[in-house]
């Protein structure tokens, strides 16, 4: 009876109504923003010899060539989320003249958007993806970007001191979209994040949660970095994080 009397108090009903309204509002906001993000992508109706998609960011049409036989050469929703965030938060996370590296750049969409926002961009990925990555970046940034983007090979955890010596690493931002998926190199990925970070480096990382390994990687990541969830898209199962090295000064 006591429990029943509590549930019938008006204040409790008000609390339930407020919580329900908040959940409804958050769900509505999520769907509205996700609709806006996905509307940035245009898939041509005509069949061409080369598979490509068109995206609209920073007032530019960005044409991306994909390769459907490789995970790394496809534009995934996490990349769209990160691009949208960079565009709509350009004042808070100012890219102009900043040194930016993207790991697991894939098709290059995120790197292209960062470049169009004025950053010095280094786009990195595995050797077999560099040709398509370079093609997409060149065709979409030539005569449009303040700084000419670079494309470099980066195999996580491999020859980091040789190819990216700590003495010359001076990255303001590390960008990453959907880098934790269907591969056995998560420890190497963590080593790479740590190697590329200075005390002032900010990581902006969008991740879609699919498997239990994503949660385990987050736990390992938190051992080295202070991690903050800055945005969430439940309908896409994607979260956007900001991270800095532990016990270090943030920008």
Strand ranges in the chain using DSSP code E only, listed in sequence order: 41-42, 52-57, 60-65, 99-103, 120-125, 150-153, 173-177, 202-208, 225-233, 238-245
Q: What is the pLDDT of residue 41?
A: 85
Mean pLDDT of the chain: 85
Q: What is the pLDDT of residue 8?
A: 41
Q: Is 78 exposed, middle or buried (0-12, 13-18, 19+ CB in 10 A)?
A: buried
8 Å CB contact between 121 and 111: yes
pLDDT in tens, 142-169: 999 999 999 999 999 999 999 999 998 9
The mean pLDDT of 94-100, rounded to a whole number, is 98
pLDDT in tens, 211-247: 666 778 889 999 999 999 999 999 999 999 999 999 7
For the ranges 30-39, 51-60, 225-234, the maximum mean pLDDT occurs at 225-234
Joined together, the tokens standing for residue 56 give: 């609209």
The full set of domain ranges for the chain reads 19-245
Instruction: Kindly list the distances between the CA atom of residue 107 and the CA atoms of 55, 148, 195, 213, in Å, as whole numbers in the listed order.
Output: 12, 17, 24, 24
CATH of domain 19-245: 3.40.50.150
pLDDT at 20 over 80: no
């Amino acid at each position: 009876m006591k429990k029943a009397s509590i549930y019938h108090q008006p204040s409790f009903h008000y609390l339930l109504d407020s919580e329900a309204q908040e959940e409804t509002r958050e769900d509505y906001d999520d769907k509205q923003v996700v609709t806006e993000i996905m509307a940035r992508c245009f898939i041509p109706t005509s069949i061409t010899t080369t598979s490509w998609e068109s995206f609209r960011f920073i007032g530019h049409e960005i044409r991306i060539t994909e390769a459907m036989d490789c995970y790394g050469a496809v534009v995934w929703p996490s990349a769209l989320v990160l691009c949208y965030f960079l565009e709509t938060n350009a004042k808070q996370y100012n890219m102009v003249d900043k040194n930016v590296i993207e790991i697991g750049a894939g098709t290059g969409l995120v790197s292209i958007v960062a470049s169009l926002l004025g950053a010095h961009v280094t786009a990195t990925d595995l050797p077999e993806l560099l040709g398509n990555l370079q093609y997409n970046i060149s065709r979409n940034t030539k005569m449009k970007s303040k700084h000419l983007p670079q494309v470099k090979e980066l195999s996580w955890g491999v020859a980091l001191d040789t190819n990216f010596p700590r003495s010359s690493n001076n990255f303001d931002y590390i960008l990453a979209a959907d880098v934790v998926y269907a591969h056995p190199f998560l420890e190497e990925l963590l080593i790479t994040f740590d190697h590329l970070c200075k005390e002032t480096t900010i990581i902006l990382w969008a991740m879609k949660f699919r498997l239990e390994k994503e949660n385990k990687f987050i736990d390992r990541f938190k051992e080295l970095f202070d991690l903050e969830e800055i945005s969430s898209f439940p309908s896409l199962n994607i979260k956007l994080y900001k991270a800095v090295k532990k016990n270090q000064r943030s920008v």
